Structure 1
Amino acid sequence: MTAPSTEPTAPSQALQVPGPEFIHPVVDGRPAEHPGGQYEASSQAGSRAPSIRPNAAISANTMVRYEDADFRQPPDLNYTLRTRKKSIAIFWTLIILDCVAMPIALYFGLWYGTSLSPNAVFSISTGALGSVSIIEYFLRFYRLWKKGSTCRVIGAHRFYLDWFHWNLSVAWIAVMVELIVGTIPKNPPIRLLAMPVSTMAFAFGLELLIMDVARLAGMKAPIRISSLPVGAPLRPGIYAIIEDVVAVDGSGGTEFRQRLNLRYQASQLFRQMLHRLTLFWAFGALIIASVTTAIIFTVNRNVAYVLGWTLPFAWAGIWAIITIKWVQMSLRDEYAKWDEVKWKA
């Protein structure tokens, strides 16, 4: 594998903007399901990736050259967390301080350390919440929107942004509505104000589960889901999250979107792993959201407020550690069995 090339590449070696045929599974180097039409793919012998129309619209700086055109090994994702450990640690430390420590510290500090009214206490604590997340939200928007963006979704216009960004937007609106409604009364309902993180976990898990059930039922994408165009077979719900977060927040760029797309098509074991990870996160999120909600509405209000803002984050940290180990083991197994499973539907 080489770094992205700025030179023209042969269609058989360059993973370019996919038309509908490039989103379908590939068998023996050709799409297993082919809708035809203007994106007609040329037939190729052997195990090469399907070619794409030479005039497909793509910037040269996001094209990827694959030297291993016969895929003797799994298509390389060309991405690692090892070199990004410091930046990841800094980012999540700021998020924890901003979205966990801040609301709890302000609640206890203002409630027991001042003579402010309950309404004022929560107006201040909710107003200070999420400053780091909001900054990251707009930085993310800029990376996707700016002219010449190198992390934009494959085949989409700049105004689309990506699937994760739209989900993030809806989630923030829902949380803000929940917090604003909770701070309007003279005596704010503390238990409701402890619910935002659980609400997000529930929505996240439900979306993942619905997408995977729809995929197993053979449904097509009703709208664009990041690099997956309308009408293409759905992919596991976690696929779009991985694609978007790594491409934009993790600086993997459009190159990562392309590499992930090819890896998904080429490897049955990779697709299987993403399916299982989707269910792992979906059921985990639904369970932790349900458990946290039950706790919030049964225990002492102070305990409820603390656990409401901490339990889902603690769960997410444990799930992330398990996921990293799981993926490492799965990828090693994939490499060991590659000759048996490549291009297998």
Structure 2
Amino acid sequence: MEEGNGPLPSEPPPLPYSLRTRKKAIAIFWTIFVIDTLGQPLILYWTLWYLTDLSHNLVFSIVTACLGGVSVFEYFYRLYNLFRKGSRARPLNAKKSRLDFFHWNFTIVWLFLAVELIVGSVPAEPFVRLIAMVLPTVMFYFGIVHLSLDILRMAGFKAPFRISSTPKGSAMPTALYALIEDVVAVDGGGGQIYRYALRTRYLSSPYFRRMLFEMNCFWSGGSIIFAAAITAVIFTVSEPVAFTLGWTLPFAWAGVWTLITIPWVQSDLRREKKAWAENRGQGGILWVDDIAAPTARTRFASVQDRFTPWTRDKQSAPSTPSADGVDGLSHSPGVTANVTDSVSHDLENMPDSVDSMHEEKKVGDLEAK
């Protein structure tokens, strides 16, 4: 994957992963997860609190001890997959001791939750409202982290450290890209083959990057807003209602957001494919995370125009990338130097990672494409 290495394909680079073939596994996982994270704490709370003579402290000791079994298993399962010898799940070119970005956040948020649960359940009369804040805390954390990353991205900051497969010093990746890469590669079994394919798609398609940026703002912004609303409810209503709503409302919000996201993404992927075929989704610098790269209008922008026509900008069709990979800037030495530096950061050592996978036929097929 080098700059200017031949004509671009007629379609965006494919992603070798399908959710359709994994529907059963996904359904089983989420069923167990919902039972463990939603059903179990509510059932234990209402039955032990109102139908037994156990002390309130003991009730919540039992509730918190039984909480998060699936998440704990998933944490150590991911840790094993990332650390084991010959792992094909860890980020591209990452050392054995390097965790991916999602696992670092997974660790930090669990530390926050552990403090909340311990402080809330230790007193003789537990802080029920604090224990009800477990899921809103997760919403706050990931919402703030993901939104902050994209704000830094738009401000032009570079990655201060490796963010999964994005090398230090590269353009700050949109947070949703890192999340998808890590979850599909490790939890979904896509491995480094998927990490490489996703990075190829991400660097080659400005439309894809714009879609992920907008989707990240939708989820992270919504997460923060609704976490704040749920927090207000928790500290307003009675404790039994607060505990119930604190564990149920986040799932309700996630369900609604998912129902909105599915057709949105499907529509945008069709638009990306059409734009690519018309050569309108390939503006900017080839194989570089060019934040300012022009692209076709996304679905979000189209919907926004309907409600706020006064904010509509005149859109010119993105120009075709030039042969040297710099669109309309090839005569500027300073810009060319910056582009070369950006390319070296974005693709740093990536060929080494691919070479290390040559023994696997799937990778060979992927590179041939």
TM range (shorter): 0.7 to 0.9
**8 Å Cα contact 1:265/1:343 also seen in 2:** no
Distance 1:91 1:155 in 2: 30
Correspondence for 2:281: 341
Q: CA deviation at 1:159?
A: 1.2
Q: Distance in 2 between matches of 1:328 and 1:173?
A: 36
1:260-317 Cα distance to aligned partner (Å, 9 max, x none): 1111111111011011011001111001100110000001111110010111122112
1:229-244 matches, cutoff 5 A = 229-244=167-182
1-structure distance, mates of 2:143, 2:52 = 39
User: Which of the numbers 93, 111, 114 marks the counterpart of 1:173?
Assistant: 111
Superposition pairs of residues 293-304 of structure 1, within 5 angstroms: 293-304=231-242
Task: Tell me which of 42, 60, 68 is aligned to 1:130.
Answer: 68
Q: May I ask how many residue pairs the two structures share in their alignment?
A: 283
Matching of residues 97-116 of structure 1 within 5 Å = 97-116=35-54
2:26 corresponds to which of 83, 88, 91:
88
> Within 5 Å, which residues of 2 pair with 1:217-296?
217-296=155-234
Read off the aligned partner of 2:282 and give its amino acid letter. Answer: K
Secondary structure at the residue paired with 2:26? Answer: helix
CA distance in 2: counterparts of 1:215 and 1:94, whole angstroms: 36
My pick for the range that moved more, 230-239 or 211-220, is 230-239
Query: Following TM superposition, by how much is the alpha carbon of 1:158 offset from its aligned partner in structure 2, in angstroms?
Result: 1.6
Q: Deviations over 1:230-288 (max 9, x none)?
A: 11110111111000001111111111111111111111110110110110011110011
Rounded to whole Å, the distance in 1 between the matches of 2:62 and 2:225 is 31
What letter is aligned with 1:304? A
Q: Partner of 1:24 in structure 2?
A: none
Deviation by residue 1:127-148 (Cα, 9 ceiling, x = unmatched): 0101111111111111111111
Say which of 267, 275, 299 aligns to 1:329. Answer: 267
Residue type of the alignment partner of 2:124: K
What's the CA shift for 1:82? 0.4
Cα distance between partner residues in 1 of 2:199 and 2:122: 47
1:67-88: CA deviation from partner (whole Å, max 9, x where unpaired): xxx3221000111110111111
Partner amino acid, structure 2, of 1:104: L
Give, in whole Å, the separation in 2 of the partners of 1:189 and 1:94.
27
5+ residue gaps in structure 1?
Answer: 1-14, 16-28, 31-43, 48-69
Aligned to 1:215: 153
| Paired position in structure 1 for 2:79 | 141
Partner in structure 1 of residue 256 of structure 2:
318
Counterpart for residue 355 of structure 2: none
TM-score for the superposition, normalised by structure 1: 0.80
Q: Report the counterpart of residue 121 of structure 1 in structure 2.
A: 59
**Conserved? CA contact 1:246–1:253, under 8 Å:** yes
Tell me what 1:202 maps to: 140
What amino acid does structure 1 have at the position aligned with 2:280?
E
**1:342 partner amino acid:** Q
Tell me whether 1:182 sits opposite 2:96 in the alignment: no
Task: Give me the TM-score of the superposition, normalised by structure 2.
Answer: 0.75
Q: Give 1:193's aligned residue.
A: 131
Large movers: runs of 4+ above 6 Å: none
CA contact 1:266–1:343 (8 Å) conserved in 2: no
Matches of 1:169 and 1:251, distance apart in 2? 20
Letter in 1 for 2:199: N
Q: Which moved more, 1:90-99 or 1:317-326?
A: 317-326
Distance in 1 between residues matched to 2:96 and 2:251, nearest whole Å: 32
Please tell me the residue identity of whatever aligns with 1:249. D
- Give unmatched runs, 5+ long, in structure 2: 285-292, 294-369
Following the alignment from structure 1 to structure 2, what is the Cα–Cα distance between the partners of residues 230 and 337?
31
Q: Distance in 1 between matches of 2:257 and 2:226?
A: 11
**3-state SS of the aligned residue for 1:337?**
helix
Assess, with a 3 A threshold, how the Cα gap between structure 1 residues 167 and 45 changes in structure 2: closer, same or farther: closer
Deviations 1:10-55 (A, max 9, x none): xxxxx5xxxxxxxxxxxxx63xxxxxxxxxxxxx4644xxxxxxxx
Identity %: 51
- Per the alignment, residue 99 of structure 2 pairs with 161
- C-alpha displacement of 1:185: 0.9
Alpha carbons 1:164, 1:245 under 8 Å: kept: yes
